[in-house]
């Protein structure tokens, strides 16, 4: 799904994959982990990637095969170097994503940032 980088869209974006995950046969707990990880990646794309371009496109993709699930969140915004020391109450998105998924890769680039996440599914 493609959506504008607007925080008002996060509830819809977080809810959209729920039915798809149920059709994939994920247990409720595993589906919740995937939804949290996807929501964090999308929130970061909106808040950080598109901080200078509100409303720019963010793309959420998901794919499942047999016992693997992949999520990709891409923005077309500008990379912002993380500064966890700036606030003790912020910057937990990447930590949450890594706790919920088996593998998380963040690839910044000239045309935006892509977050790739993978987990195993039973």
Q: What's the confidence (pLDDT) of residue 109?
A: 85
Checking if the pLDDT of 110 tops 90, the result is no
- The second-level CATH assignment, the architecture, of 2-120 is 2-Layer Sandwich (3.30)
Q: What are the pLDDT digits (tens) for 72-87? A: 999 988 777 666 666 6
Element (H, E) at 98: helix 93-100
Question: Per-residue pLDDT averaged across 54-58, rounded?
Answer: 88
Comparison of pLDDT for 80 and 16, the residue scoring more = 16
pTM: 0.86
Provide mean pLDDT across the span 45-62: 87
Report the chain's terminal Cα–Cα distance, integer Å.
Answer: 25
Residue 52: helix, strand or coil by DSSP? coil
| Confidence at residue 94, expressed as pLDDT on a 0 to 100 scale | 85
Q: What per-residue confidence (pLDDT) applies to 66? A: 85
């Amino acid at each position: 799904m493609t959506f504008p980088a607007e925080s008002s869209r996060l509830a819809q974006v977080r809810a959209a994959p729920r039915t798809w995950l149920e059709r994939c046969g994920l247990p409720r707990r595993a589906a919740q982990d995937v939804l949290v990880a996807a929501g964090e990646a999308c929130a970061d794309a909106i808040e950080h990637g598109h901080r200078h371009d509100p409303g720019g496109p963010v793309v959420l993709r998901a794919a499942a095969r047999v016992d693997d699930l992949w999520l990709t969140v891409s923005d077309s915004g500008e990379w912002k170097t993380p500064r966890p020391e700036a606030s003790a109450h912020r910057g937990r998105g990447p930590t949450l994503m890594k706790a919920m998924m088996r593998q998380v890769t963040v690839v910044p680039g000239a045309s935006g940032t892509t977050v790739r996440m993978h987990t195993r599914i039973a």
